[in-house]
Amino acid sequence: MRILVVEDEKKVASFIQRGLEGEGYEVDLASDGEEGVAMGEKTNYDLILMDIMLPKMDGLSAIKALREKEVSAPVLCLTAKDTVEDIVEGLDSGSDDYLTKPFAFAELLARVRALVRRGTQERGAEITYADLRLDPVAHKVWRGDKEIELTAKEYALLEYFMRNPEQTLTRTMIAEQVWDYTFDSFTNIIDVYVNYLRKKVDKDFTKKLIHTVRGVGYVLKED
């Protein structure tokens, strides 16, 4: 497994590199956003760790540039910002997860393992429910004949719903399965993303598929 670490603080970059190499990963370093984009485009990495505050090009812009270049490697944001708005902005840029500085290496390693495992997991055939169709290989979604454009995290959330139709999914279950988090404070992010998903999946259609189970969570079902 090969990981790219984009971090301008040399001590932090060295700390991460030594730790990951000690776990058997191959690690390359980039010290600014532009270098990170160039390396990410050139090499097929299994994971990219991206600091947000970077010289030449900030981390969020670098992630957007990588996604525009169709680089599909999972991206873990490293950031000192931890408000709901900051987290959503990072996820919307195309990242798959975030970790707030300062962090313990054990927590970083757990996030790395989860993202690498998810990225290499065999997804299998298309999934359908009602008039929704999801292609796990191409990462595309349709409702009827209309293709729906989703961010990486919106896609992961919808896939979890579609793999568990007509089952009430609690916010804790969603946090653990889609974000690999277990803490209750993260539920605000879940609500934000469910609302994003509803606007794209249900808004222009008479039949609504994503429903709230008051006080519990959400469920994908036909009316």
Tens of pLDDT, residue by residue over 18-29, are 999 999 899 999
Q: Which residue has the tokens 């896939």?
A: 159
List 143's β-bridge partners, or say none.
132, 146
Tens of pLDDT, residue by residue over 55-109, are 999 999 999 999 888 888 889 988 887 667 777 777 777 788 888 888 889 889 9
How many CB atoms sit inside 10 A of residue 114's CB? 17
Q: Where in the chain is the domain with CATH 1.10.10.10?
A: 127-220
pTM for the whole structure? 0.61
Strands of the 26-30 sheet, one edge to the other: 26-30, 2-6, 47-51, 75-79, 97-100
- pLDDT for the residue numbered 218: 96
Q: Where in the chain is the domain with CATH 3.40.50.2300?
A: 2-120
Which two tokens mark 13? 């970059």
Q: Which architecture characterizes domain 127-220 according to CATH?
A: Orthogonal Bundle (1.10)
Tens of pLDDT, residue by residue over 141-194, are 999 989 999 988 898 899 999 989 999 999 888 887 887 665 555 568 889 999
- What's the CATH number for 2-120? 3.40.50.2300
Element (H, E) at 53: none
Phi, psi (rounded to 5 degrees) for 11: -65, -40
- pLDDT for the residue numbered 99: 85
